[in-house]
Chains A and B, each alone.
Chain A
Amino acid sequence: MKRSHLPVAYMPLVDAAPLIIAQEMGFAESEGIALDLIAAPSWSSVRDMLAFGRVEAAHMLSPVPVAMAMGLGGVKTDLSAVSVLSVNGNVIGVGRALEERLRDIGYGFDFADPVKAAAALAEVRSGPVVFGVPFPFSMHVELLRYWCEGTALGAGGIEIRTVPPPLMATALANGDVDAFCVGEPWGSVAVDQGSGALLLPGKAIWGFSPEKVLAVKTEWAESEPALLGRMMRALWQAGRWLAKPESRSTAGEILSRKNYLDVSPELIDRALSGQFTVSDRGEQRRVDSFVEFHHGAATFPWRSQAKWIAHRLQQSHEAAASPSLDEVARVFRADLHRSLLSEAGVDMPGASEKLEGAIRHKTAVASTRGELCLMPDAFFDGRIFDPEALD
């Protein structure tokens, strides 16, 4: 049988691993497909390639399809987020100027406590702290906003600007931004270049946030379910492989190749192992499952996750068209995920929505095979998001 080639756009980041591994480790091949991976120069370009039909699928920031469904941003196309590709995986960091002021007041860079980090930042700032993020619709923005609202920083305590990660060092040096929130390997790159120090992992703010999704055009999902199913199964297998500790060094080697991330395997391993160097003084900090590709039904696109994003976007963008949040949340295709992956015997949660932030410890839940555990998903402030209880 001739293999079907599927062009897929991605940004060269650690969390593109499921796509790269599916192709390189033969998971795509065993599904009879080949992923033609196209590294994109920007998130706008990823989105356009998908919208204009240059690619069939894309590695996408989870809020992008939600924002598009709400009429935000420059492009309107119906997209479906069919799988979550990665959970968590961002870091928040500060430039040298803020780092020095934080050290002056004795801040210990624990890389763990969001309340302490915010209090320290609030103490040393002289005006709003300007954060650089990769894209206006991103989990980076949502995590930053949620964090500052609930802490000493305060809702107006930060400003957010879009700066592509490769330009972040320049933006910090020019004083265009004071701090940043980026996906790995860019945080570790900043540390190694001596342009900043890491403050928090994204998961310290929300314990289980959907970071990147696999997005396809809705009309394509409906006309090519068989092909989509093969791609989703290959990605699910890749995620399971990535979750094995013994896969780590191989994964790092593959991702580090010139045609993928083109940075050293050691740098990539920091995200995969959760063992971080947070400043150029060499301070080491550990985070368990810093980025998750598999455990706790990581790939499942919960409608409640989409609803959380939609709810947050609605609060921050007046321009957002307001169809019901239920409607918007349907871009996270729990239905397709369930129907296309059940055939492969993947254990699926019984529900498509859950309370976000209610799980404090690994918890067994009702599932098709009865073996599924969900991972802790708490918000740092202990609040619980109930998708049924929105005004």
Chain B
Amino acid sequence: MSARLTVVVVEEDRDRAIAVVDAIKDTAECDVYVIGNSSALARKIAAHDPDIVLIDIDNPTRDMLEELTLASGPLERPVAMFVSGPAGGLAQTAIEAGVSAYVVDGLAPDRIKPVMDTAIARFRMVRQIRNELAETRRALDERKVIDRAKGLLMKAKGIDEDAAYALLRKTAMDQGRRVPDVAEALVTASGLLG
């Protein structure tokens, strides 16, 4: 077995892939390859004969990697997602950070750990940024809907902005719903009634 590890990162987003690859290369002696989503993923990965494969846990192409756990040819090496044994805790942390790792059978835990620790840290960061972005976007969308609902109420009932918002909030409280949901319902209904 060569001393250098071969790591494959499955990632469609180029910037994110580069960030992960750079970090891993700084930590361990290894060759890192990036593969984007592909309808022939398993074969492309197998061609690199990797020791470790890293993939975002939310990537829908993950099921294609499952074939790698079923080595059928004599030269193919089975990989497994390690769950039990000494590396089990590491796998749990990895999953929570949003990365899932497939590792060749028999690879010593002390060789896996540095790569995994780095990958976990990177993916966690990526995930956090993504969540924050989604949260900001959602808040913005909700703001827009509430503004439209306020506008509708002001026009229909001849009230001012504060009164319109108060009405939305009271309705939401009475019905045990969120203000954005009530606003959304109002905007939809008004769209239907034309």
How many residues on the B side are at the interface (Cβ–Cβ under 8 A)?
Answer: 28
Tell me which of A52, A162, A176 contacts B66 (CB under 8 A). A162
Contact B84 A76 (CB under 8 A): yes
Q: Which residues of A contact B100 (CB under 8 A)?
A: 44, 48
B47 at the interface (CB under 8 A from A): no
Which residues of chain A come closer than 8 Å to B64, judged between CB atoms? 162-164
A→B interface (CB under 8 Å): 41-45, 48, 51-52, 54, 72-77, 134-137, 161-164, 166-167, 170-171, 174, 176-177, 317, 319
Q: Which residues does chain B contribute within 8 Å of A73, judged by CB atoms?
A: 66, 69-70
Return the CB mask of B72-98 against A: 1 if under 8 Å, else 0: 000000111101100000001001000
Of all A-B residue pairs in the complex, the 10 with the closest CB atoms, nearest first, are A171-B39, A74-B81, A74-B69, A74-B80, A42-B62, A176-B39, A41-B60, A42-B63, A44-B62, A176-B40
Chain B: CB-nearest residue to A177: B39
| CB closest residue in chain B, given A54 | B95
B95-113 interface mask toward A, CB cutoff 8 Å, 1 = contact, 0 = none?
Answer: 1000010100000000000
Pair A51/B63 contact, Cβ less than 8 Å: no
Q: Is the CB–CB distance between B63 and A135 below 8 Å?
A: yes
> Are A136's CB and B70's CB within 8 A?
yes
Tell me which residues across on chain B come within 8 A of A48, comparing CB atoms: 57, 81, 95, 100
Q: B-side interface residues toward A, CB under 8 Å?
A: 37, 39-40, 42, 57-67, 69-71, 78-81, 83-84, 92, 95, 100, 102
A49 and chain B: residue at smallest CB distance? B95
Q: How far is the CB of B116 from chain A (nearest CB, A)?
A: 15
Contact B60 A319 (CB under 8 A): no
Q: What is the CA–CA distance of A137 and B66 in the complex, to the nearest angstrom?
A: 9
Residues in B whose Cβ lies below 8 Å from that of A44:
62-63, 65-66, 100
* Cβ A52 vs Cβ B95 within 8 A: yes
Extra A-B contacts (13), CB below 8 Å, given A43-B66, A135-B63: A42-B59, A42-B61, A43-B63, A44-B100, A48-B100, A54-B95, A73-B70, A75-B81, A164-B60, A167-B60, A167-B61, A170-B39, A319-B71
Closest chain B residue, CB of each to CB of A317: B70
| A136 vs B60: C-alpha distance when bound (angstroms) | 15
The residues of B that contact A134 with a CB separation of less than 8 Å are 63
Q: How far is the CA of A163 from the CA of B179 in the complex (A)?
A: 42
The residue of chain B having its C-beta at the shortest distance from the C-beta of A172 within the complex is B39
Q: CA A50 – CA B135 in complex, angstroms?
A: 26
Q: Is the CB of B67 within 8 A of A162?
A: yes
Contact A161 B42 (CB under 8 A): yes
What is the minimal beta-carbon distance from A42 to any residue of chain B, in angstroms?
4
Task: Tell me the bound Cα distance from A42 to B100 in angstroms.
Answer: 12
- A171 and B58 CA atoms in complex are apart in Å by 20
Asked if A136 and B92 make an inter-chain contact with CB atoms under 8 angstroms apart, the answer reads no
Query: B40 contacts which of A135, A174, A319 (Cβ < 8 Å)?
Result: A174
20 residue pairs A–B, Cβ–Cβ below 8 Å: A41-B57, A41-B59, A41-B62, A43-B63, A44-B62, A44-B65, A44-B66, A48-B57, A72-B69, A73-B69, A74-B69, A75-B81, A75-B83, A76-B83, A164-B60, A164-B61, A167-B37, A167-B39, A170-B39, A171-B39
Q: State in angstroms the CA–CA spacing of A319 and B64 once bound together.
A: 19
Q: Cα distance A52–B91 when bound, in Å?
A: 9
**Nearest CB of A to B123, in Å:** 15
Residue in chain A with minimal CB distance to B59? A41
Chain B residues with Cβ below 8 Å from A163 are 39, 64
Q: What residues on B are CB-neighbors of A54 within 8 Å?
A: 95
A74 to B42: give the CA distance in the assembly, Å.
15
Measured in the bound complex, the distance between the Cα atoms of B78 and A299 in whole Å is 35
Q: Which residues of A contact B39 (CB under 8 A)?
A: 163, 167, 170-171, 174, 176-177
Output the least CB separation between B65 and chain A (Å): 7
Most chain-A Cβ atoms within 10 A of its Cβ — which of B61, B67, B78, B102? B61
Chain A residues positioned under 8 Å from B37 (CB to CB) = 167
Nearest CB to that of A171 among chain B residues? B39
Residues of B within 8 A of A42 (CB): 59-63
A52 touches B58 (CB 8 A): no
Chain B residues contacting A170 (CB-CB under 8 Å) are 39
Q: How far is the CA of A177 from the CA of B43 in the complex (A)?
A: 13
Q: Which chain A residue has the least Cβ–Cβ distance from B95?
A: A52
Contact A162 B63 (CB under 8 A): yes
